[in-house]
Amino acid sequence: MQPVDMTTFLLRRLVFMALTVLGAVTVTFVLANLVPADPARAALGPDATEAQVANYRRERGLDQPLLVQYGRYVSAMLRGDLGTSIVSRAPVAGDLGKFIPATVELLVPSLVISVVFGFVLGVGSAFFRGGVVDQLARFVSLLGLSMPVFWLGLVLQLVFFRWLGWFPAGGRLATVLSPPPNVTGFYTLDSLIAGNWQTLQSSLIHLVLPAVALATLTLGIVARMTRSSLLDVLSSNYVRTARSKGLRESVVLWKHALRNAAVPIVTVIGLRLGQMFSGAVLTETVFAWPGVGRYAFTALKQLDFPVVMGFTVWATIIYALVNLLVDLSYTVIDPRVRLE
């Protein structure tokens, strides 16, 4: 394909994104209706009478043909209405608006931790290959990759909460405090906006353990990826050329090698980011963190279809967006990459 300008590229990608979201919604809708369970029954429980169940179906349009239900859902979705939760009767869009910031607030520091430390460890171990740093980095990444996050979470709680008492075990805020007035949904930012230092401190300290727990897996992946990608590049001809020109080792590393090694690292980070965004269910459960992953997981167990569908829409959009960002970042990292 011919190289295109940025606007055309973005437009094309956005159209594809819309199609992807529609596809995901369709598939989820069909799957949800294939599950051998009755959402009306599930919502009302085994004690409800047949009349109660029928009444409920009529109220929610569940007695309509599937195609009609699908059409209604999609047209409402386009207006930004994701329906109301069967279980709680709260609008799904509003719920997502409350639970997504909690997850993102946890995710950002965790991503920063994992990228910074993972990158440093990876570079260190590639540069001092086989040395102490390399061994240490290998151990840390192996630990991060193989330790189940809920187990690590419990160990962190045991050590830093139960024994040392440095950090709280769970939640977003101390129980004596009320959340700051809602502006962004991020307790830290909202505390800053409200100028409330108490809630800022409390929300920061509540972030530490879950963010560290969530960061370990990504940290391990980033470290391993950085190491192998960098080693590849360091053994290539142009690095040998650069070295033979007499360039200092730091210049070779930072100016020549790293930039070329970055593409696969960014790809991996993008993939992990998508997964983390769509909910760190286990971390959120262990740390009693009211995030979107736990919200969706609870809904799934209760067959709360509108919530499951709404979550699917969100997760699809996030994945598509992150992919787009990753693709765009390639052009920045490597000028040879062209938009097609």
| Interface residue list for another protein (CB under 8 A) | 35-39, 41-42, 44-52, 55, 84-85, 87-90, 95, 98-99, 150, 154, 157-158, 161-162, 165-172, 174-176, 178-179, 198, 201-202, 204-205, 285-288, 290, 294-295, 298, 301-303
Percent helix, percent strand, percent coil in the chain, to nearest 5: 75, 0, 25
Phi/psi of residue 84, nearest 5 degrees: -115, 150
Q: Which residues contact 93 (CB under 8 A, 6 or more apart)?
A: 80, 81, 82, 310
Q: How far is the CB of 210 from another protein (least distance, A)?
A: 11
Q: Which helix (H) or strand (E) holds 72?
A: helix 66-78
Nearer of residues 136 and 205 to another protein, judged by Cβ: 205
Nearer of residues 191 and 323 to another protein, judged by Cβ: 191
Q: How far is the CB of 89 from another protein (least distance, A)?
A: 4
Nearer of residues 11 and 158 to another protein, judged by Cβ: 158
Nearer of residues 35 and 142 to another protein, judged by Cβ: 35
Q: Distance between CA atoms of 54 and 279, rounded to whole angstroms?
A: 35
Q: Are 203 and 191 in contact (CB under 8 A)?
A: yes
Q: How far is the CB of 97 from another protein (least distance, A)?
A: 11
Q: How far is the CB of 68 from another protein (least distance, A)?
A: 19
Exposed/middle/buried for 175, CB within 10 Å: 0-12, 13-18, 19+? exposed
Q: How far is the CB of 176 from another protein (least distance, A)?
A: 5
Q: Are 339 and 331 in contact (CB under 8 A)?
A: yes
Q: Are 121 and 137 in contact (CB under 8 A)?
A: yes
Distances from the Cα of 27 to the Cα of 37, 93, 203, angstroms: 17, 20, 38
Q: How far is the CB of 291 from another protein (least distance, A)?
A: 8
Place of tokens 């997760």: 315
Nearer of residues 9 and 314 to another protein, judged by Cβ: 314
Nearer of residues 213 and 233 to another protein, judged by Cβ: 213
Q: Are 329 and 277 in contact (CB under 8 A)?
A: no
